[in-house]
Homo-oligomer: A and B are copies of this chain.
Amino acid sequence: MAMRRREGTVSAAKHEAIREAATRAFLEKGYAGTSMDEVAALAEVGKQTVYKHFSDKRQLFTDIVLATTHQVDGLVRLIAQTLDASDDPRSDLEALAHRFLTTLMQPQMLRLRRLVIANAADFPELGEAWYELGFERVLSTLTSSFSLLDERGVLRVPDPESAAEHFVGILLWIPLNKAMFTGNEHAYTEDALRRRADLAVHAFLDLYRVAEHPLARNNPATDSTDRPL
């Protein structure tokens, strides 16, 4: 019994070592550029051990990429924590937008995004699953939070699903595309990301804030002082 438990622990440790090695290799060299030999060497196990745990490179890749959707758990919790009880939507949205942007712009996250996109045509089911468990889960959490803020009268959001799409679209389209197309993982300074987050929230609140002074809303004189930059 003790013997079997030790075997199980060793096996689990090897499984984890293979997964870690494969994650590193895939993120660095892509799917085509990674071999099972390399994964075995990086994990410091024999090649036959890799095949004992994962039937082929395809299965290993699928397992690794699907597991990364757990990284979204943190963002999902953050959204609910930041927004659901908010009474200061500008400052809370700015904090959320900033965390969101800096998280997605991390080099590791950019490489993961590139890896999934690069292989989506060859792994359509994996791509679908990643989109649902990652991308769409963030959207539906934002949708719930905006719906709640609308009910509480903190924002005016007649269509929370569109609002969620506008929030991420305004915030992310430019910096994520710049990073994806240019391959530059440090295209923005910390200050530039903060400025982008603040500007995105400014536009978002122009769409969804509760009107306090209806007449002030479209008055260029007050609006210009209202702009953060």
A-side interface residues toward B, CB under 8 Å?
30, 32-33, 111, 114, 116-118, 120-124, 127-128, 130-131, 134-135, 139, 156, 158-159, 162, 165-166, 168-174, 177-178, 180-184, 199, 203, 206-207, 211, 214-215, 217-220, 223-224, 227
CB distance from A138 to the nearest CB of B (A): 11
Verify B182–A120 contact, CB threshold 8 A: yes
21 pairs of residues in contact across A and B, judged by CB atoms under 8 Å: A30-B118, A32-B33, A111-B121, A120-B182, A120-B183, A122-B183, A130-B181, A131-B181, A131-B182, A135-B181, A156-B218, A159-B227, A162-B203, A165-B173, A168-B174, A169-B169, A169-B174, A170-B170, A215-B215, A217-B217, A217-B218
- Check A227/B158 contact, CB under 8 A, given A114-B121, A182-B120, A215-B214: yes
**Given contacts A220-B156, A227-B158, A117 and B120 within 8 Å (CB-CB):** no
Alpha-carbon separation in the docked complex, A206 to B219 (Å)? 14
Of B127, B184, B203, which one neighbours A207 at CB under 8 angstroms? B203
Residues of B within 8 A of A117 (CB): 114, 117-118, 180-181
From residue A75, how far is it (CB to closest CB) to chain B in Å? 15
Closest partner residue, chain B, to A136 (CB atom): B178
Q: Which of B118, B131, B169, B214 makes the CB contact (< 8 A) with A170?
A: B169
Assess A118 versus B116: contact at CB under 8 Å? Given A32-B32, A166-B170, A177-B135. no
Verify A218–B223 contact, CB threshold 8 A.
no
- How far does the alpha carbon of A192 sit from the alpha carbon of B182 in the complex, in Å? 30
Q: A127 — which chain B residues lie within 8 A by C-beta?
A: 181-184
Residues of B within 8 Å of A166, CB to CB, are 170, 203
CB neighbours (8 Å) of A182 from chain B are: 120, 124, 127-128, 131
Contact B118 A181 (CB under 8 A): no
